[in-house]
Structures are given as C-alpha cells and as structure tokens.
C-alpha cells in the first residue's frame, strides 16, 4: 500500500478487530460455566434415603418433595423429574450434565474443544461475539489481500518470497471465513428461536409433551435474553444476558413458561430461596436418571 491514508485506516481497523477477537476469545475460555445453586441439590438425608432404599415409590416421593417448590417445567422423555446421579441434584430447565467437565451446566449449549470450555448461560454471548469478530477479522484480511492475490496470478507482483505469503494468507482467511460464516449463521438462527444446540437436536419435553419451540418468546425477547436490554453493550464481551424474571409475566401455555424464572437466585446462594419459585407437585411423576 502506497497511500498513507489507506495504510492508517487498514491498521486501525485491523487492530480493532484483532483486539475484539482476542477479548471475546479470552472471555469465552476463562468464564466459568454457571452451575445450579444449592437449592437444587438434595439434602444429606434425602441423598441417604435415595442410596438406602431400592428404586420405587420412595425415590419418587423424595424427588417429588424436593422439586415441588422449584421453578422447573421440563421433564425426561418418560415424564419424570430430571435428576443427575453424578451431581446428585434436580436439574433446572435447560441444564445438562457435561461429561467432559463432569458438572451440570445451566443452559448448556455444547462443550467446545476450540475454547476448552462449556458454552452455556454464563458465556454464550461471549461465544457468539468470538464467532462474529473472528469472522469479521478473516473477511477483512481476505478483502484487503484480494487485490494483491489477483496481481499474484497476473504476475503483477515483484518476484520475491512475499508473494507466496500473500497467496497463503488469502487462502487461509477465505477458508476460515467460509467455515465461520456457516457456524455463526447457525448460532444466529438458534438465538432467534431461543434454542441451544442440544435442544435443536432433541426437543425439550414438558409436562404436556415435546415442544421444539417451547422456550421461544418471540424474536426480540429471544435476542434480548442473550444480549440484554442495553444495546450499547451488545458488541462488547461483557455479561449482559437477561434473567427470565425481567420478561413480561403474561400467561403463556405451559410449554412457553419462562426459561429462567430467577436465574440469579439459582447461581447466588445468598439470595432469597423463595424468590421466583413456582409451586408444582405431580403425584404421577416417576424417577429417571438423565446425564
């Protein structure tokens, strides 16, 4: 590049995209996934009872009593309360046990080997921004390199080793752009439907049955649930996701009950355990372990 203005603009844009990409990647890696709080764990006496008694009505009664005041709406395929044997807790809605982390993760999307971390409620926004900025970063490199890539094939570049660097850089950026665009587009679709990757492959089950769009609150609210109300924070990798209690409380069919009635109370043991709970009891519930 011979034009000083073009050089300055490219340097500023490049380093801005690179900084946002690294920041998002760092936050995705080092943000600890949220786990269910102690109110979802069984008491010592309840754990002893489950271990001592054979499976049957006793187990059913133990879990029924433990879950009656918890804000849970989803069930196993057989209609039982979702219980994790490994963590010995009743799973909140959209919570799944990660076999890699060996923990139950709130709103688990998947375990990502690229970031060596579980992607869930606490870092899903960071993961989306990581995909977005890495895509923009690769597109910017491919776009600024394109004119020199064309000169490479038309013999318009000096015969030095630098021209092979230009060719490699364009191919690498273009290939990553293709793969990242498909992955980013898929997760944008998931956000618009308020689904996780796990829920896209296996629809959540509610008391009335399976509903693939059971957590959808409409495009706007689905987007706000991940990014929050303050749009100025959307492009920044800072936590701004909404808890479910901030959404309108108008009646929805049972399958559309709020995702996180009070997500903060699930993860902060110092909050009032009675806040945001919905009474629930079903004598027909059976016990089934799900990991």
For CA atoms 253, 215, 208, 262, give the dihedral sign: negative
The H or E element spanning position 265 is helix 263-267
Read off the tokens for 256.
Answer: 């559309």
Question: What gap in Å lies between CA 41 and CA 60, rounded to an integer?
Answer: 16
Q: Coil, strand, or helix at residue 281?
A: coil
Question: What gap in Å lies between CA 289 and CA 64, rounded to an integer?
Answer: 14
Burial class (CB in 10 A: 0-12, 13-18, 19+), 110: middle
Residue whose entry in the numeric block shows the structure tokens 């679709």: 189
Which residue in the list 84, 112, 118, 188 is annotated as catalytic? Answer: 112
Burial class (CB in 10 A: 0-12, 13-18, 19+), 56: exposed
Residue of 261, 283, 256 lying closest to 274 (CA atoms): 261
Residue of 140, 137, 103, 139 lying closest to 122 (CA atoms): 103
- Cα–chain center distance at 232: 21
Catalytic site residue 104?
no
**Looking at the annotation, which residues are catalytic?**
112
């Amino acid at each position: 590049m011979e034009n000083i203005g073009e050089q300055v603009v490219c340097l500023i844009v490049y380093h801005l995209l690179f900084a946002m990409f690294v920041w998002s990647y760092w936050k995705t890696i080092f943000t600890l996934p949220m786990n269910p709080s102690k109110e979802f764990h069984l008491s010592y006496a309840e754990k002893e009872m489950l271990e001592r008694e054979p499976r049957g009505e006793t187990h059913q009664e133990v879990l029924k009593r433990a879950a009656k005041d918890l804000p849970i709406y989803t069930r196993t395929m057989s209609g039982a309360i979702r219980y994790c044997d490994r963590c010995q807790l009743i799973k909140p809605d959209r919570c799944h046990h990660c076999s890699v982390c060996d923990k139950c993760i709130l709103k688990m999307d998947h375990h990502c080997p690229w970031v060596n971390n579980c992607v869930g409620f606490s870092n899903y926004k960071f993961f989306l921004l990581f995909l977005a900025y890495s895509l923009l970063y690769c597109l910017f490199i491919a776009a600024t390199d394109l004119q020199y890539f064309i000169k490479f094939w038309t013999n318009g570049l000096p015969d030095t080793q630098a021209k092979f660097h230009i060719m490699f850089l364009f191919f690498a950026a273009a290939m990553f752009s293709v793969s990242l665009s498909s992955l980013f587009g898929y997760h944008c679709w998931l956000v618009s439907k308020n689904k996780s990757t796990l829920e896209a492959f296996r629809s959540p089950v509610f008391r009335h049955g399976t509903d693939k769009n059971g957590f959808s609150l409409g495009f706007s609210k689905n987007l706000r649930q991940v990014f929050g109300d303050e749009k100025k924070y959307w492009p920044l990798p800072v936590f701004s996701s909404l808890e479910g209690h901030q959404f309108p409380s108008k009646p929805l069919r049972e399958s559309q009950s709020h995702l996180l009635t009070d997500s903060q109370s699930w993860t902060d043991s110092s909050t009032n355990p009675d806040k945001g709970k919905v009474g629930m009891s079903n004598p027909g519930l059976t016990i089934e372990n799900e990991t």
